[in-house]
Amino acid sequence: MLASQQINLSEQLEQDGFLVFEDFIPGSVCDHLVDYMKSMLANADFTALKTAFSTKTHKHAQEKYFLDSGDKVRFFLEEGAINEAGELTVAKELAVNKVGHALHTLDPIFYCFSHLHQTISIMQAVGIAQPEIMQSMYIFKQPHIGGEVTAHQDSTFLYVHGKPITGFWFALEDATVENGCLWAIPGGHHSQLKSRMIREDDQIRTDIYDETPWDLSLMEPVEVKKGSLIVLHGLLPHMSKENTSGISRHAYAMHVMSGMDKFADNNWIRV
């Protein structure tokens, strides 16, 4: 990649808050990842998951299941997908909201996909020196039940002292308004960080710096075709709405920082 292109992409991300690369991943690769994840799900043992989520006072167990997932491949359920007896209320392949947070290191297929040369080149081109992937998620956004992800900035959850964390969001299927595509406030990353999720031992809390709610009327849909890559500035306000359609919206997301910068010690993921 030419030095001038690198400056342009880096400047463009700073200016707009997000970038869209269409036809970034071949459709056949997307299909392969979707099929591979389906086979992972089919072979997954949900016993521990059911235990963690089955009791009435499960908030702590759920938090612990989440907090310990930074270096594991764990399944997270859609709300209401399990009842108090620990039984799934929908088919296993429809019950999962996402899989996280270390597919990029622990799973050989996702390791390869996460480290594709063309993706690393984009990381460098947007100004991430010595890129390091801090977490990964496979997101299902199931037909009819895939829930809303409310407006947020990724830096709230993964704070970096230096260049803010950068999101890499791959559409493994078409993402439309109907099936819950990303929405973002163009230029919204120029505002300050509104909150931070802080971890102290096994407790998490949210520190609020600005209580003003996001002006959701400024959110614009970012509809993309399967195979597209969306790069998100860590301070960009973004969200996704419920999937009201009968079509799934699978995506793979990674969050990346520069190895030259410092990952905050009190992020929920410990490194």
Catalog residues that contact Fe ion under the rule CB under 5 A.
154
Q: Which helix (H) or strand (E) holds 266?
A: none
Compute the least distance from the CB of residue 73 to Fe ion, in Å: 20
How crowded is residue 63: how many other Cβ atoms within 10 Å of its Cβ? 16
Nearer to Fe ion, 86 or 221 (CB): 221
Token digits of residue 124:
């460098």
Nearer to Fe ion, 31 or 223 (CB): 223
Compute the least distance from the CB of residue 255 to Fe ion, in Å: 8
Residue of closest CB approach to Fe ion: 154
Compute the least distance from the CB of residue 7 to Fe ion, in Å: 26
- Cβ contacts of 183 within 8 Å, gap of 6 or more: 219, 220, 221, 222, 238, 239, 240, 241
- Cβ contacts of 22 within 8 Å, gap of 6 or more: 224, 225, 227, 228
How far apart are the C-alpha atoms of 236 and 217, rounded to whole Å?
15
Nearer to Fe ion, 122 or 232 (CB): 232
Compute the least distance from the CB of residue 28 to Fe ion, in Å: 27
Half-sphere exposure of 254 (CA within 13 A, CB side): 22
Nearer to Fe ion, 154 or 174 (CB): 154
| Residue 169 backbone phi and psi in degrees, to 5 | -115, 115
Nearer to Fe ion, 142 or 153 (CB): 153
Compute the least distance from the CB of residue 197 to Fe ion, in Å: 12
